[in-house]
Amino acid sequence: MTLESLTRKDKGYILRRLEPARREMALRKIFEEGSTKTPGLAKLYAANFHKIFSFRRNDYQLKILYSSYDVKSEDEFYRSPNLMELEIILEQIEINPLERQVDKLDIYDINSVLAFHNHVWYDYSIPKPGRTNQELFDLVIDSLVAHIENGYGRPIENDEYYFCQEYLDSKYVKGKKREEVLLELAKIIFSRFSETHRKRLRQIIDRGEAEDFEEIQQCANYDIPNYTFLRRLGSGADGVVYLANHDIFGDVKVKVFRGTPQDKIKEAMEKEGVTLEERIKRRIALFDMEVRDKTHLSQMYDVGKTRSPFSLGETFYLTMDYVDGGSPEFKGDDGKYGIRKDITLEVIPQIFEGILRGIKSIHSADLILKDIKLRNILVSRDHETVLVDDLETIAGIEEVKLGERLTEGTDRCAAPEVIRDIRNASQSSDLYSVGVCLLYMLTRNPTLMRGINNILDEEEYNSKLSEMMIKEHGDLDMQLIDIYGHNTKSLILSEIVGDVFKFLKTALDFNPEKRWSMDKYMKFSEELKK
Q: Mind listing the pLDDT tens digit for each residue in 440-479?
A: 999 999 999 999 999 989 999 999 999 999 999 999 999 8
333 with 461, same domain: the answer is: yes
- Residue 175 within any structural domain of the chain: no
Q: What per-residue confidence (pLDDT) applies to 268?
A: 52
Distance CA 421, CA 401 (A): 10
Distance CA 374, CA 441 (A): 9
306 with 334, same domain: the answer is: no
If one compares 304 and 10, the residue with the highest pLDDT of the two is 304
Average pLDDT over residues 32-50: 43
* Alpha helix segments (H runs only) across 53-174: 59-69, 74-78, 82-92, 110-123, 133-147, 159-168
Distance CA 279, CA 393 (A): 9
Distance CA 56, CA 27 (A): 12
Global pTM?
0.66
Is the model's pLDDT at 153 over the cut of 50?
A: no
Angstrom CA distances, 195 to 158, 202, 244, stand at: 9, 11, 19
Q: Which of 399, 413, 145, 381 is nearest to 272 (CA)?
A: 399
Q: What are residue 195's phi and psi, to 5 degrees?
A: -65, -35
If one compares 210 and 183, the residue with the highest pLDDT of the two is 210
335 with 468, same domain: the answer is: yes
Select the highest-mean-pLDDT range: 149-153, 316-320, 509-513.
509-513
Helix, strand or coil, per DSSP, at residue 149: helix
Distance CA 191, CA 525 (A): 56
Q: What per-residue confidence (pLDDT) applies to 303?
A: 83
CATH at 365 = 1.10.510.10
438 with 497, same domain: the answer is: yes
351 with 495, same domain: the answer is: yes
301 with 367, same domain: the answer is: no
Beta strands of 277-385 (E only): which ranges?
Answer: 300-307, 314-321, 329-331, 337-339, 367-368, 377-379
If one compares 10 and 278, the residue with the highest pLDDT of the two is 278
245 with 287, same domain: the answer is: yes
CATH at 295 = 3.30.200.20
308 with 335, same domain: the answer is: no
Q: Mind listing the pLDDT tens digit for each residue in 83-135?
A: 444 444 333 333 322 333 333 333 223 333 344 444 433 333 333 344 454 45
Amino acid letter for position 85: E
Angstrom CA distances, 343 to 40, 219, 321, 440, stand at: 72, 30, 21, 11
Is the model's pLDDT at 498 over the cut of 60?
A: yes
Average pLDDT over residues 246-266: 75
Domain count, the chain: 3
418 with 303, same domain: the answer is: no
Distance CA 419, CA 193 (A): 48
Is the model's pLDDT at 149 over the cut of 90?
A: no
270 with 367, same domain: the answer is: no
256 with 333, same domain: the answer is: no
252 with 382, same domain: the answer is: no
- Residue 55 within any structural domain of the chain: yes
Domain end among 304, 321, 338: 321
Indicate the pLDDT class of residue 525, thresholds 50, 70 and 90.
very high
Is the model's pLDDT at 51 over the cut of 50?
A: no
- Average per-residue pLDDT for the chain: 73
Domain end among 152, 186, 208: 152
Percent over 90 (pLDDT), the chain: 32
Average pLDDT over residues 49-61: 41
If one compares 182 and 439, the residue with the highest pLDDT of the two is 439
- Cα-Cα-Cα-Cα dihedral sign, residues 486, 489, 493, 498: positive
Q: 3-state SS string over 236-281? A: CCCEEEEEEEECCCEEEEEEEECCCCCCHHHHHHHHHCCCHHHHHH
- CB-based burial label for 99 (10 Å; 0-12, 13-18, 19+): buried
Indicate the pLDDT class of residue 165, thresholds 50, 70 and 90.
confident
If one compares 132 and 303, the residue with the highest pLDDT of the two is 303
Domain end among 289, 321, 353: 321
Query: Which residues span the domain enclosing 290?
Result: 222-321
Q: What per-residue confidence (pLDDT) applies to 184?
A: 77
Indicate the pLDDT class of residue 482, thresholds 50, 70 and 90.
confident
Is the model's pLDDT at 142 over the cut of 60?
A: no
Helix, strand or coil, per DSSP, at residue 108: coil
Q: Mind listing the pLDDT tens digit for each residue in 346-359?
A: 999 999 999 999 99
Q: What per-residue confidence (pLDDT) applies to 487?
A: 83
